[in-house]
Structure 1
Amino acid sequence: MLEAQLRVVKKQILENDRRVRANARETELGRRLMEIPGVGPLLASAFVATVADAHAFKSGRCLSAWIGLVPKQHSSGGKERLGSISKAGNRQLMARRTAKVAAVALANKTARMVWALMTNGERYREPVIA
């Protein structure tokens, strides 16, 4: 009986995965978001479903803060002092920071890229190394 239930659950999981992938590819925005490294069908469809209008956010930082990916605050007396989020490459970041800090920094960077693509309508371009 448990084996039969496990097969049914696995089948349902596969069907839901198929639907998520199909929904992400269905919209032009979803296809553009999936071009960002680290953004797959699940994340792209989640952004498309939850962020109806990216212009509601003033900047990528506001979207990132709305998600909950913000640096530590050291504000006092009305002066805003925020901790930094590194823009260094993944390998350098992992060498200097713990895995959790690096993961949050990369998620923040990805959220800001998603906001930029959602607001300007462009496609993702690989950064050019000078």
Structure 2
Amino acid sequence: MGKTQPACQRVMKVPGVGLMTATYFVASVGNGQQFHSAKQFAAWLGLVPREFSSGGKQRLGRISKRGERYFRYLLVHGARAVAAVIERHKDNMPWLYRLLNKKAYNVAVVAQANKTARILWSMLVHHTEYRTLSAV
């Protein structure tokens, strides 16, 4: 399924997304139209922080871990692989490199997984190819 389906081939070009992640993504999400935005898709995966707000003050906690557990697992491990490469090749993803230097390692990895999930949803819904930062 993965190597022959065009959607799987497109999303496999994203760093940190391999054959297993791509096939699971396309099989579980379908066409992605059930989500109104990439943010809603990331929330469905449980990759967004829980919010504790009171009196106009917003406090963000840890990730909610609700939703698709296995897909979140695949995305986080793909993000770990990307983070390991970024430490050697700083120019590929300057956003992640700065985050790795500023935040805890696991916080940066989950942030990368969140970003990857949003990119995957956008690529699936809009039928676009992956563009690197230098191509944007």
TM-score after normalising by structure 1: 0.71
Q: 1:104 to 1:80 in 2, by over 3 A?
A: farther
Shift of 1:64: 0.5
- Between structure 1 and structure 2, the one with the greater Rg is 1
Which residue, out of 52, 59, 82, partners 1:74?
52
Q: Separation in 1 of the partners of 2:60 and 2:115?
A: 14
Q: Residues 33-87 of structure 1, C-alpha deviation per residue, up to 9 Å, x if partnerless?
A: 001111111110110110023111011111111011002313236x694649xxx
Q: Which one has the bigger helix percentage?
A: 1
Q: 1:82 to 1:126 in 2, by over 3 A?
A: farther
Residue aligning to 1:108: 114
Instruction: Kindly tell me the number of residue pairs found equivalent between the two proteins.
Output: 105
Q: Which one has the bigger strand percentage?
A: 2
The code of the aligned residue for 2:102 comes to: R
Q: 1:64 to 1:35 in 2, by over 3 A?
A: same
Q: Separation in 2 of the partners of 1:70 and 1:99?
A: 17
Q: In 2, are the aligned partners of 1:71 and 1:82 still within 8 Å (CA)?
A: no
Does residue 61 of the first structure (1) align with residue 39 of the second (2)? yes
Residue aligning to 1:10: none
Percent sequence identity over matched residues? 35
SS class of match (1:124): coil
SS class of match (1:118): helix
Q: Structure 1 regions of 5+ residues with no counterpart? A: 1-22
Residue aligning to 1:128: 134
Q: Which structure has the higher relative contact order (CA within 8 Å, separation 6+)?
A: 2
The code of the aligned residue for 1:66 comes to: W
Q: 1:128 to 1:80 in 2, by over 3 A?
A: farther
Q: Separation in 1 of the partners of 2:49 and 2:117?
A: 13
